[in-house]
Amino acid sequence: MTFKLGFLSHAFGDDPQQVYRDLIEQFEVAEALGFDGGWIAQHHLSNGFGLLPSPLLLLAAVAERTRHIELGTGVIVLPFEDPIRLAEDASVLDALSGGRVQLGLGSGGANLDNFTAFDRDPGRRQADFAERQQRVQHLVEGKPLIGDLTLQPPAPGLSSRLWHSHGSIDGAVYAAEQGNGLLLGTATHDPLTVQKPLADAYLQAWSRTDRAPRIGVVRAIFPAANRASAQAELAVDIERHIPRLQREGLIDEAVDLQEHLRLMNVHHGHPDEVIESLRQDPSLLPYADYVIAVVQAESSTQAQILKRLEILARDIAPALGWKKR
Amino acid sequence: MSGGFSLGFLSRVYSPQFDPKVYRDTLELFRVAEELGFDSGWVAQHHFASELGRLPAPLVLLAAIAQRTRHISLGTGIVVLPQEVPLRLAEDAAVLDLLSNGRLELGLGAGFDPETFLAFGRAHEARHRDYEQHLQQLRNALGNAPLTDSGSRLLPRASGLSHRLWEATSRVEQVAERGHGLIMAPNPQLPAEAGIELVNRYRSAWTGDNGTPARVARVQALLPAPDDATRRDIQAYVQRQHRIGVLKDEPEADFDTTLKRLGVLHGPVEQIIEQLQQGPALTAQDQLILQVQTISTPLREAIRTLEIIREHIAPALGWQSTGTL
């Protein structure tokens, strides 16, 4: 089976303006390499690690610089958004980009510290998510809100390009019931014991006949000349994340870099090693309609990022069955 | 007028039916205006296509425009603040300001359309209270105040943007106290001289505490040669404003009287210049913002009007191009 190939950026860096310029360039390069899509994560306020709270604005800039590549959010923290304003922003971007938006939504599990700033209760985030996602969906489907008011501009087709990120079986089933795509791997969940059951539950719960289920799988993929150089490039950034991941219960106490990379599911090494490692990933190729690669860690340089995108599109993805557009 | 002023145009992104082309046309208008040496371009926000304004997400469109232009200031005239999540607006504004190299001029208003307030689940009669609350939160975030218990702040930081906020309201003393610019459009309820009076009150209330000079953006619609389609547009506009209670009196039957009441400048160029000279005096800190389109104005006609303004009207008022062209 084949899949779409995308990349996901967390907009890491020190200088936001430079980070935004680099991101735009990454989309231009990815489009030239044949990538089907680029996805951007949303990070709020100064306590996080990404520098971009407004992915749809950056994607509007990208839309002017590109022609084909899909413009994804992976993900927008829905409890912080007014659903009408979000639907409006997304539909304007969709009109500007010729229908290229892929709108990924999440409930903010990685943003618990920021709920008070947005006047939201983290305990209500699942309820907020469902209520707002249904409102967004209602609007993009062109259904009237009150009286005969409908979303303007209309967003034909966008309702079949909505995605949910969920970490629970209930959530995965809910995404299927809503007829939306499922994004896996946006948090560091174990591919075999957590992600695979989510994917199975999602597919089993799918009942729509007018469209197919779709699963997007996010994976950290760091190809390099060999395993040692890939690890050298990653070491600093991996160690930086250990305390947070332990705190969030996503990994157990671990011993060394090798073990960290394995637990964090970072596919790295020579392209042949990466291909083999991706083939063995239990919740990737058997499920993915969209393989979404994270190729940037905090201290990655733009040159490293562009090089990894190139290796991915040229050497790795074709070996796994990806067909360039 | 002496000492020059900034010259801008305002697009309400009107279109009888929605077509994505309306965004491309607006983009093109900005590009042409920049070439002609205009200092600023402003776009209005309309939700649910009220008044047939087609742009609910001005910052998204301006992010795209920022990629196609280099010097021209990018303004919102205006964003309906009570219907925004203030912290999300602060984030978007900060990102757009970086994407555009500090070109954002953020105009804010309380809104008036009762139907859209209903749609957003907000009380129309509470809009001024909501406006004040949201403005406070917006200023707080832009001013780099801590927003959570742990001291997180807006990211990216919005250096300088606090000094590029504008308000469209008749409560001019408050605007002056806050150190914001005043957006002043003709008020059909009041005689034409009322504008001069408002500007005088604003200037005398100005404290200069934030180290910036007072600044006025005078908005006028301008129609050198109104044709039948334009007449129909304006009559439909007036009838709608009357229906939703914004215009209190019965619309006049006579077209010239209607235009005069709306403050729409029309007729031969000499007459337009004369009418503009009668308004409040503008200084180097001020802006003259001309709206050159009604619902059915084609792009080429809007461009033609910008050219007339550039060649004949603005220079007669003392405007000098500061463009680098």
A residues 1-60 lying closer than 8 A (beta carbon) to B: 16-17, 20, 43-48, 51-54, 56-58, 60
Q: Averaged over B25-51, what is the pLDDT? A: 97
Q: Which residue shows structure tokens 């908005």? A: B219
**pLDDT at residue A253 in the model:** 64
- B166: alpha, beta or left, given left = phi > 0 and alpha = psi -120 to 50? beta
Domain at A273, CATH number: 3.20.20.30
Q: Is A195 part of a structural domain of the chain?
A: yes
Q: Using the beta-carbon criterion (under 8 Å), do A61 and B118 form an inter-chain contact?
A: no
Residue A250 banded pLDDT, cuts 50, 70, 90: low
pLDDT digits (tens, 9 = 90+) for A278-308: 999 999 999 999 999 999 998 999 999 999 9
Domain count, chain A: 1
| Residue A258 binned pLDDT confidence (cut-offs 50, 70, 90) | confident
* The pLDDT of residue A15 is above 70: yes
Question: How far, in Å, CA of A295 to CA of A317, rounded?
Answer: 14
Instruction: Determine, yes or no, domain membership for A123.
Output: yes
Q: How confident is the model at residue B321 (pLDDT cuts 50, 70, 90)?
A: confident
What is the pLDDT of chain B when averaged over all its residues?
Answer: 92
**Residue A193 included in any domain:** yes
B155 pLDDT above the threshold of 80: yes
pLDDT tens per residue across span B234-287: 888 888 888 888 887 777 778 888 888 888 898 899 999 999 998 888 999 999
CB-based contact A45 B119, cutoff 8 Å: no
What is the predicted pLDDT for the residue at B66? 98
**Residue A109 covered by a domain:** yes
- Using the Cβ of B152 and the Cβ atoms of chain A, whether some distance falls under 8 Å is answered with yes
Q: Would you give the DSSP letter of residue B78? A: E
Contact B289, B217 (CB under 8 A): yes
Could you tell me which residues come within 8 angstroms of residue B96 by beta carbon, excluding any fewer than 6 positions away? A54, A57, B59, B62, B63, B66, B74, B104
As a whole number of angstroms, the distance between CA A75 and CA A216 comes to 12
Is A184 inside any structural domain? yes
Q: What does the pLDDT read at residue B242?
A: 85
B-chain residue closest to A14, CA distance: B156
- The conformational region for residue A13 under phi > 0 = left, psi -120 to 50 = alpha, else beta, is left
Give A47's contacts in chain B (Cβ within 8 Å).
148, 150-152
Residue of A nearest to B67 (CA): A61
Q: What are the structure tokens assigned to A151, written together?
A: 């979303």
Which pLDDT score, from 0 to 100, does residue B193 have?
84
Query: What is the arithmetic mean of pLDDT over B211-215?
Result: 93
Q: pLDDT at position A255, please?
A: 65
B155 vs A46, A61, A81: nearest CB: A46
pLDDT at B203 over 50: yes
Is B143 an 8 Å CB contact of chain A?
no
Domain membership of residue A247 (yes or no) is no
Distance of residue B182 Cα from the nearest chain A Cα, in angstroms? 26
pLDDT tens for A200-229 read 999 999 999 999 999 999 999 999 999 999
pLDDT for the residue numbered A28: 98
List the single residue in A with minimal CA-CA distance to B146.
A117
pLDDT at B142 over 90: yes
Between B2 and B217, the higher pLDDT residue: B217
Mean pLDDT of chain A, nearest integer: 94
Nearest chain A Cα to B13, which residue? A153
**What's the pLDDT band for B1 if we cut at 50, 70, 90?**
very low
Reduced to 3 states (helix: H, G, I; strand: E, B; else coil), residue B305 is: helix
pLDDT: which is higher, B225 or A221: A221
Q: Is B51 on the interface with A (CB under 8 A)?
A: no
The answer as to whether A311 is a domain residue is yes
The two tokens of residue B146 are 């801590």
Answer whether A113 touches B (CB < 8 Å). yes
> Which member of B54, B63, B152 has the closest CB to residue A114?
B152
Q: Enter the tokens of residue A325.
A: 């557009």
Q: Report, at the CATH architecture level, how domain B6-228+263-316 is classified.
A: Alpha-Beta Barrel (3.20)
Q: What integer pLDDT is reported at residue A163 of this predicted model?
A: 98
Taking an 8 Å cut-off on Cβ atoms, the answer to whether A46 and B154 are in contact is yes
Task: Report d(CA A112, CA A79) in Å as an integer.
Answer: 11
- Whether B118 has its CB under 8 Å from any CB of chain A: the answer is yes
Average pLDDT over residues A58-65: 98
Average pLDDT over residues B305-311: 96
Domain of A303, in residue numbers:
4-228+266-320
Q: Which residues of A touch B59 (CB under 8 A)?
A: 57
Q: Mean pLDDT over residues A1-30, rounded?
A: 96
Chain A residue whose CA is closest to B24: A96
Among B18, B95, B118, B136, most A C-beta atoms within 10 A, so best to mutate, is B95
pLDDT at B59 over 90: yes
Residue of A130, A125, A148 whose CA lies nearest to A83? A130
Q: Confirm if B317 and B70 have CB atoms less than 8 A apart.
A: no
| Residues in B touching A54 (Cβ below 8 Å) | 91-92, 95-96
pTM (global) more than 0.90: yes
Q: How far is CA B70 from the centre of its chain?
A: 20
Q: Which residues of A touch B54 (CB under 8 A)?
A: 152-153
Mean pLDDT of A42-63: 94
Domain boundaries, chain B: 6-228+263-316
pLDDT at residue number B323: 58
Residue B324: predicted pLDDT? 47
Mutate to test the interface with A, among B99, B113, B115, B153 (most CBs of A within 10 A): B99
How many angstroms separate the CA of residue A195 from the nearest CA in chain B? 31
Whole-number pLDDT of residue A252? 66
Give one DSSP letter per residue of B46-75, joined into a string: -STTGGGB--S-HHHHHHHHHHH-SSSEEE
Q: A44 to chain B: which residues are within 8 Å by CB? A: 91, 155
Contact (CB<8Å) A45/B88? no
Confidence band of A254 (pLDDT split at 50, 70, 90)? low
**Three-state secondary structure readout of chain A:** CCCEEEEEECCCCCCHHHHHHHHHHHHHHHHHHCCCEEEECCCCCCCCCCCCCCHHHHHHHHHHHCCCCEEEEEEEEHHHCCHHHHHHHHHHHHHHCCCCEEEEEECCHHHHHHCHHHCCCHHHHHHHHHHHHHHHHHHHCCCCCCCCCCCCCCCCCHHHHEEEECCCHHHHHHHHHCCCEEEECCCCCCHHHHHHHHHHHHHHHCCCCCCCCCEEEEEEEEECCCHHHHHHHHHHHHHHHHHHHHHCCCCCCCCCHHHHHHHCCEEEECHHHHHHHHHHCCCCCCCCCEEEEECCCCCCCHHHHHHHHHHHHHHHCHHHCCCCC
